[in-house]
Amino acid sequence: MKLISPMKTWHQVVESGDMNLLDEILDEDCIFYSPVVFSPQAGKEITKKYLSAAAIVFADETFKYTKEIESAKIACLEFELVLNEIKINGIDIISWNDDGKITEFKVMLRPLQAVELIHKYMGQELK
């Protein structure tokens, strides 16, 4: 059986900003791990909500993926951008099932000032 990777579609989401493409690649039971929320967020709709809010917050011409490692069912994508003169460095760890549906999306950020800034902006978008 050939495994299906959702990474091509994920990059289309990032490049186009078309959040409707997430419907094709998010599993119904997807879990989103935010760098600014203590508990995991479970379910396709809440994951889509967080990723859509992040797309607004991170919609900056300086955003770019700088490294990507992909294996059979997991990818690690390093990104960077500059917001409010803070250089932000982060990692998206994306896992998927045999059907190519994302089952887990985990985001990590650094430095601390970036986490605080993203917490503030995400809070405004998720109201």
Every domain of the chain and the residues it spans: 7-125
Residue 93 has what pLDDT? 98
Encode pLDDT of 22-68 as tens digits.
999 999 999 999 998 889 999 999 999 999 988 888 887 899 999 99
Q: Predicted confidence band at 5 (pLDDT cuts at 50, 70, 90)? A: confident
Encode 91-106: b = buried (16+ Cβ within 10 Å), e = exposed: ebebebbeebbbbbbb
Higher pLDDT, 123 or 98: 98
**In a 3-state reduction of DSSP, which class is residue 58?**
coil
Q: Which amino acid does the sequence have at 83?
A: L
In the structure encoding, which two tokens stand for residue 18, read together? 């078309």
Instruction: Write out the CATH class of domain 7-125.
Output: alpha beta
| For residue 40, cis peptide bond before it (omega within 30 degrees of 0) | no
Taking the model in full, what pTM does it have?
0.90
Residue 10 has what pLDDT? 94
Determine the Cα–Cα distance for residues 14 and 86; give it in Å rounded to an integer. 21
Question: Residues near 67 by Cβ (< 8 Å), separated by ≥ 6?
Answer: 76, 77, 78
Calculate the average pLDDT of the chain.
91
